[in-house]
Structure 1
């Protein structure tokens, strides 16, 4: 009887893990859609990023204080604390800024596929920085993935979109910064609770975002219309706070490998939503490009 109870408990835990992984992936896939819709309201990148953090930061501050004063979580050492501050500024400030800035120039579909290539960048950085092995499987994944990205880029450039190349460079830089963040954060996460790590990193990024805003904008720039605030609220809550904790919980329940497999649905969800809500075109170039990228990254996920 006990074995059956344990089995049922494990199955329930596994199903919850899958649910958290898919839910977090789906919510994060909405990010590009909310950003594009907010831009249509006349909001610029820095203002929208600031509004996003204004919405998200109180939640991370609450989790940070709860973990420190209401639980027995181990406080990070001074060296780890400083490392998390730097990593948070890299990922949730610098990477987010370049990504959102790039969305001014390219479609949500191309942006999402380019961001999806960060595991390959992480593998290359591991080889470059720590002499990790680049296998033939990784090389094949690189060829397939970036062939898909180049195909979609060529399609958008052919349509005559202004500054498509600039958008590609900005989003590539965003993905590269995020890959560096992942490479170094793995070493810190071995010593620090993941929820505490995420909260400190987000609060660090919030500080840098506010500094950037105050240096480039008057406070009156935050007085945007109600539609822009609505999209900023959706972006901060449903595409930042909730998916960050849902994906962390998913990894804890089912492991990083299974959680990453569920992440394959992310580009598909974004592309479908971009066609429906942003009226972006979808043709053979998009279909083939999407399949090449997903297949390429899946090669990397296979053991």
Structure 2
């Protein structure tokens, strides 16, 4: 098996790990675990793992400026914690399929934010792709996943916008640091803030059943540690452009698994709308990734 094929398989494994996240979150909720406790335990367990990895590998022991520390805390302690809370909260109102699809509109918001901040003029195909993706979203929502809950929809879209802000900030301030290092620190800061919020509000509650504990451990192992490790390993083998495009498998896998495991309904019209959304996001991701690779070559 050559390097590229190995990288593709690793990226597919990563996408699968992320794809099961909403399903495991639903099981955790059904088992009695609330959002605050689920997120704290997920990031705390994963944070310990990444901390040990960072301590063990001297390659990641680099100098970090005060500005970078502040940005990492903002990205992890504030923005990523908020994104996670919004996304998991949306699962209480809408299906995991719809929540994941809305989250994966983030490349569109990244482009919009980058254009507003850097005054960048985008090619017509990118503008067309953005409009196409929003048209696909309208089709999916109109085709209706049953009666769509507006609150859940707004929570998922807000998580997508937050993720776009997270990416733009990380790219502007800490892009010169190793990706594994920034990811580990963001997770640690997220766990810390989730703990502080939980203790302040009294929302931490560890009285839930075995299914919830198993689901949280699954979120940690499959949807955090395994998904991130295989993503970074695959990224080194296939490059950022291919990695970005292969990551678009996640919402497709989430839909398929949700239909099989959670018995969610999914019509042909909804699938067409989903493919339109993903195609629009795919073109945007490919354009931005290719542009970055040309600029760095």
Tell me the number of residue pairs that the alignment of Structure 1 and Structure 2 aligns. Answer: 287
Q: Which residue of 2 aligns with 1:299?
A: 283
Give 1:72 shift: 6.5
Asked if structure 1 preserves the Cα contact closer than 8 Å seen for 2:245 and 2:286, the reply is: no
Q: Does 1:106 align with 2:91?
A: no
> Which sits farther off after the overlay, 120-129 or 262-271?
262-271
SS of equivalent to 1:222:
coil
Do the aligned partners of 1:90 and 1:181 also contact (CA within 8 Å) in 2? no
Alignment of 1:276-291 (within 5 A): 276-291=260-275
Does 2:21 align with 1:31?
Answer: yes
Alignment of structure 1 residues 65-80 onto 2, 5 Å:
65-67=55-57, 70-71=58-59, 73-80=61-68
Q: 1:281 to 1:62 in 2, by over 3 A?
A: same
- Distance in 1 separating the partners of 2:203 and 2:239: 45
Shift of 1:189: 4.0
* CA distance in structure 2 between the partners assigned to 1:40 and 1:74 by the alignment: 42
Does the 8 A contact of 1:87 with 1:185 survive in 2? yes
* Distance in 2 separating the partners of 1:72 and 1:168: 39
Equivalent residue of 1:104, what SS?
A: coil
Q: Partners in 2 of 1:213 and 1:73 — Cα distance?
A: 31
Gaps of 5+ in 2: 288-297
Q: Which residue of 1 aligns with 2:147?
A: 160
2:40 counterpart residue number: 50
Q: 1:12 matched to which residue of 2? A: 2
Question: 2:71 aligns to what?
Answer: 83
* Structure 1 spans left out of the alignment, 5+ residues: 1-10
When the two structures are superposed, what TM-score results if normalisation uses the length of structure 2?
0.90
- Is the aligned partner of 1:209 residue 2:197? no
Q: Which position in structure 1 is the counterpart of 2:123?
A: 135
- Cα gap change, 1:216/1:285 in structure 2, threshold over 3 Å: closer, same or farther? farther
Mapping 1:143-222, distance limit 5 Å: 143-156=131-144, 159-161=146-148, 164-217=149-202, 219=204, 221-222=205-206
Structure ID, larger Rg = 1
Q: Which range moves more in the overlay, 227-236 or 241-250?
A: 241-250
- After superposition, give the CA deviation of every residue in 1:198-253 in whole Å (9 maximum; x if it has no partner): 1111101111111111122265x112111100000001111011212221222222
Cα distance, 1:78 vs. partner? Answer: 2.2
Distance in 1 (CA, whole Å) between partners of 2:227 and 2:60 is 24
CA RMSD of aligned residues (A): 1.8
How much does 1:174 deviate?
0.7
1:40 corresponds to 2:30: yes
After TM superposition, the structure 1 stretch with the greater mean CA deviation from structure 2, 52-61 or 167-176, is: 52-61
CA contact (8 A) 2:244 2:286 kept: no
Q: Which residue of 2 aligns with 1:7?
A: none
- Pairwise CA distance, 1:116: 1.0
CA contact (8 A) 2:132 2:276 kept: yes
Aligned residues of 2:31 and 2:210 also touching (Cα < 8 A): no
Instruction: Establish whether residue 245 from structure 1 lines up as the match of residue 232 from structure 2.
Output: no
Secondary structure at the residue paired with 1:255?
Answer: helix
Contact kept in structure 1, 2:4 and 2:238, CA below 8 Å: yes
Task: Say if 1:73 and 1:193, in contact at 8 Å, map to a contact too.
Answer: no
- Measured after TM superposition, the shift of residue 294 of structure 1 is 1.5
Change (3 A) 1:155 1:43: farther
- Per the alignment, residue 8 of structure 1 pairs with none
What is the Cα deviation at residue 102 of structure 1? Answer: 0.8
